[in-house]
Amino acid sequence: MATDGRDARWDQHRVDRKRELVSHALRAIRVHGPGVSLEDIAARAGTSKTVLYRHFGGRAGLYADVVDSVHAYIRADLTAALDMSQARDLAQLTTTLTDGYLALVERDPDIYRFVMNGAGGAGAVDPAGRVPIVIASSVAAVIVARAGDQGIAAATSQTWAHGLVGFIQAVADRWMDDPDREPRRAVVDRVGALFAPAFAAATHTSQAEPVTASALATSNPVT
């Protein structure tokens, strides 16, 4: 059965309206903080809570759409930063990723806390998947390509990518909660210094000649 053109237009209207309401929600979070209420968001949008319930089904539904929007923004920003980096060195890519992530957190701390705290408050589960899980696959694509140029297996670089994103997210959480927060650059340098030796060792190992059983037997004779 052919879809009525009016139905298609109405569906698009609903999509556009939800996107508009999510934008108002983000603005309300910046004003009222991560504990923003539906009343605050409705007032910012110049509408009522009834309209929000009609489009999102409640706070959890609105939260899920806000999270999806924020995740898309984080993915785009971080992957763009990595793509623009001409470095083939994984340690340098790590500092690029760390700096990009912390810059996003620093720029929009209330939105970051809203996303990480969940619709029900601190500790709630993010319905779209925790930020590291959602963005790690995008970051991994870049790291896998760069690591592959150095002879490092895709499975290894995938593990590194997901581990790095989780590590950096944990660092960002602690950094944002520290009342005596040190400059971002200091944190970036510290993370880079931590991972550089590991990447250097792994790269060296991947480029070394494989060790065979006969070679081991020759170099370690049983006496």
pLDDT digits (tens, 9 = 90+) for 93-145: 889 989 999 999 999 999 988 888 766 554 444 444 455 566 777 777 777 77
Percent of the chain whose pLDDT exceeds 90? 33
Token pair 């009342």: residue: 179
Span 49-104, pLDDT tens digits: 999 999 999 888 999 899 889 888 888 888 788 777 766 678 888 899 899 999 99
Give the H or E element holding residue 3: none
pLDDT at 223: 37
Token pair 């996303």: residue: 115
- pLDDT surpassing 70 at residue 217: no
Same fold, 1-57 and 66-205: no
Q: Is residue 181 helix, strand or coil?
A: coil
Backbone angles phi, psi at 8, to 5 degrees: -65, -40
| Per-domain residue ranges of the chain | 1-57, 66-205
d(CA 154, CA 183): 34
* Number of helices followed by number of strands (H, E) in the chain: 10, 0
Question: 1-57 belongs to which CATH class?
Answer: mainly alpha
Fold of 66-205: Tetracycline Repressor; domain 2 (1.10.357)
